[in-house]
Amino acid sequence: MVQKNLIDGEWIAGSEAFRNINPSDTNDVVGEYARASAEDARAAIAAAKAAFPAWSRSGILERHAILRKTADEILARKDELGKLLSREEGKTLAEGIGETVRAGQIFDFFAGECLRLAGEVLPSARPNIGVEITREPIGVVGIITPWNFPIAIPAWKIAPALCYGNTVVFKPAELVPGSSWAIVDILHRAGLPKGVLNLVMGKGSVVGQAMLDSPDIHAITFTGSTGTGKRVALASVEHNRKYQLEMGGKNPFVVLDDADLAVAVEAAVNSAFFSTGQRCTASSRLIVTEGIHDRFVGAMGERMKGLVIDDALKAGTQIGPVVDESQLNQDTDYIAIGRQEGAKLAFGGELLKRDTPGFYLQPALFTEATNAMRISREEIFGPVASVIRVKDYDEALTVANDTPFGLSSGIATTSLKHATHFKRNADAGMVMVNLPTAGVDFHVPFGGRKGSSHGSREQGRYAAEFYTTVKTAYTLA
Ligand code: ADP
């Protein structure tokens, strides 16, 4: 059966379909999904535009009920949806279920936010005049998502968009349509009026581009590569629309001489390799001061030897496969580049064979890397990390901040002085002390600086900034 697109409340098959392949076992077809055309995208945009006036004025109880019901169903089906996610994306079952729970929590959070919509009332600077400041929805929001968090990223964009009264055209990544289809189905059955949420699965260059080119999309929220982010930005400037970008990272994880070695190694292994290194918050630059360098590298090698890399759905697997062949080629190309640049491949980096055909790669650790090398400057998006040796904390901080990106930044230290200084001076949107650079809560702001992000923060109450526009009203008493 082909899973269809949702346009104006109708499930539409279209003329083409594409297959969703399991990266742990390429013989396993997860499902077939309708491929939307540019025309479908335009129909979805028109439906969202037509649905906006009524939805923007819908009652907070209606919105609350739909988001709450969605949260409940996602959480009740966490094992099944988590398995679907792991099957289509390749992260481990524990990670897939964890991400699904997070999606449920996000819908729950924004269900609550519908009931807390508020403004401000204040006196004017002029006598006998009152001022009200309120937030209003923006209109049609275009949502374009990547493959690495197939349910959490759609959730953290769709939930606030609907909560604040916007209508949505949603284009998930082609590699992982299953999780997106599932949450759209849940929201549709939870009672969303037709046209409020439209799903158009398909190619970025066709469906995504049709969204960028439409004057009827009033805001676009995008997570993905830097190159596509730039296209979103340029098209949005052209149409004078609001836009929000979450793009790459090259996140540093600093290890100081005074770190607890076990804490540092655990956080570094998690940051660099969990979810197969395919997180924008992953750390691929381990910046280590010279007094602990050799002990840290030794302990990393020991810890990496014990990692279980296998089928994402198998019990005991700690690291699943890379998402597809083209990403695997990118990872192995960077491993070759690192060697050519003179870094030492201290551990891993080989392709692995498992029971089923899949994209298995032994996590790779380089040592003797410098911050100037391409492997230290460009986002690899795989289980490949480099150790950069530095003299002291000051040099570590300078190297950590010397990057075009600024999403997440971590440090392992037992020094309050250094932890405090790092929190204040790390040039990143998120800072982690004695914790992995990845792994964030659902109810607080997410986002970065410099080349990593553009626009206001996602998640938590800060999401209102993007999904609403502010009105200031003056009344003569
Ligand atoms: P990734 O490397 O994570 O696949 P992309 O930026 O290519 O990063 O993809 C992120 C999302 O952007 C996907 O949903 C993809 O289909 C979409 N996309 C790709 N090209 C375009 C485009 N020209 N216009 C709009 N969206 C696009």
CB of 400 within 6 A of ligand 1: the answer is no
- CATH, residue 33: 3.40.605.10
Instruction: Indicate whether 190 and 232 sit together in one domain.
Output: yes
CA of 106 to the centre of ligand 1 (A): 24
> Would the CB of 144 count as within 6 Å of ligand 1?
yes
| Shared domain check, 313 and 285 | yes
Residue 439 lies in a domain: no
Residue 455 has pLDDT above 90, yes or no: yes
pLDDT-derived band at 190, boundaries 50, 70, 90: very high
Asked if 273 and 232 sit in the same domain, the reply is no
At 453 the pLDDT is 98
pLDDT digits (tens, 9 = 90+) for 58-107: 999 999 999 999 999 999 999 999 999 999 999 999 999 999 999 999 99
On whether residue 154 sits in a domain, the answer given is yes
Residue 444, in any domain of the structure: no
Per-residue model confidence (pLDDT) at position 448: 98
Check if 180 has its Cβ closer than 6 Å to any atom of ligand 1: no
In a domain, 363, yes or no: yes
Q: Are residues 357 and 258 in the same domain?
A: yes
**Cβ of residue 321 lying under 6 Å from some atom of ligand 1:** no
Pair (70, 152) in one structural domain = yes
Domain count, the chain: 2
CATH of the domain at 397: 3.40.309.10
218 and 296 belong to one structural domain: no
Of the residues 147, 169, 211, 228, which should be mutated to test ligand 1's pocket, given the most ligand atoms within 8 Å of the CB? 228
Cα-to-centroid distance, 209 and ligand 1 (Å): 9
Report whether residue 209 contacts ligand 1, using a CB cutoff of 6 Å: yes
The per-residue pLDDT for 449 is 98
Taking all residues of the chain, what is their mean pLDDT, rounded to a whole number?
98
Q: Are 166 and 67 members of one domain?
A: yes
Question: Atom 7, ligand 1: which residue's CA is nearest?
Answer: 225
Residues 6+ apart with CB under 8 A from 240: none
Distance 418 CA to ligand 1 centre (A): 39
- Are β-strands 197-199 and 167-171 bridged in parallel, bridged antiparallel, or unpaired? parallel
pLDDT in tens, 223-239: 999 999 999 999 999 99
Is ligand 1 within 6 A of the CB of residue 208? yes
Confidence of residue 14 (pLDDT cuts 50, 70, 90): confident
Q: Which amino acid is residue 412, in one-letter code? A: A
The C-alpha atoms of residue 12 and residue 6 are separated, in whole angstroms, by 6
Q: Tell me what the mean pLDDT of segment 315-333 comes to.
A: 98
pLDDT on residue 81? 98
Ligand 1 atom with the smallest distance to the CA of 172 is 14
Q: Are residues 176 and 278 in the same domain?
A: no
Q: Is residue 15 part of a domain?
A: yes
Average pLDDT over residues 169-178: 98
How do 16-22 and 25-35 pair as beta strands? antiparallel
Instruction: Indicate which residue's Cα is closest to atom 23 of ligand 1.
Output: 205
Rounded Cα–Cα distance for residues 114 and 68 (Å):
10
Is residue 301 one of the residues assigned to a domain?
yes
Alpha carbon of 204 to ligand 1 centroid (Å): 5
Residue 202 Cα: closest atom of ligand 1: 16
Nearest to 465 by CA among 219, 170, 102: 219
- 245: CA distance to ligand 1 center in Å? 12
Residue 375 has pLDDT above 90, yes or no: yes
The predicted pLDDT at position 23 comes to 98
**What is residue 373's predicted lDDT score, i.e. its pLDDT?**
98
Query: Percent of the chain, pLDDT > 90?
Result: 99
Same domain, 153 and 192: yes
Q: Is 19 exposed, middle or buried (0-12, 13-18, 19+ CB in 10 A)?
A: exposed
What lies within 8 Å, CB to CB, of 464 at 6+ separation is 113, 135, 160, 164
Average pLDDT over residues 277-293: 98
- State the pairing for strand pair 2-3/25-35: parallel
**The whole model's pTM is what?**
0.98
Decide if 441 is inside a domain: no
- State residue 286's pLDDT score: 98
CB 226 less than 6 A from any atom of ligand 1: no
Q: 318 in ligand 1 pocket by Cβ < 6 Å?
A: no
User: Could you list the active site residues?
Assistant: 246
Q: Candidates 18, 144, 147, 328: which one to mutate for ligand 1, based on the most atoms within 8 Å of Cβ?
A: 144
Expressed in angstroms and rounded, the spacing between residue 202 Cα and the centre of ligand 1 is: 10
Domain enclosing residue 22, as ranges = 2-247+452-476
Q: What confidence score (pLDDT) does residue 7 get?
A: 98
Place of tokens 């090259």: 250
Residue 477 above 90 pLDDT? no
**Cα 220 to ligand 1 centre (Å):** 13
Residue nearest to atom 18 of ligand 1 (CA): 204
Same domain, 65 and 191: yes
Tell me the residue type at 258. D
Mark whether 211 and 96 lie in a shared domain: yes
User: Is the C-beta atom of 401 inside 6 A of ligand 1?
Assistant: no
Residue 349 CB–ligand 1 contact under 6 Å: no
Report the percentage of the chain scoring pLDDT > 70.
100
- Match 């403004």 to its residue by tokens: 119
pLDDT per residue as tens digits for the range 93-142: 999 999 999 999 999 999 999 999 999 999 999 999 999 999 999 999 99
**Angle 467-473-477 from CA coordinates, rounded to 5°:** 155
Question: Does residue 217 share a domain with residue 201?
Answer: yes
Strand 10-12 vs strand 5-7: parallel, antiparallel, or unpaired?
antiparallel
Taking alpha carbons only, the member of 11, 30, 33 closest to residue 21 is 30
304 in a domain, yes or no?
Answer: yes
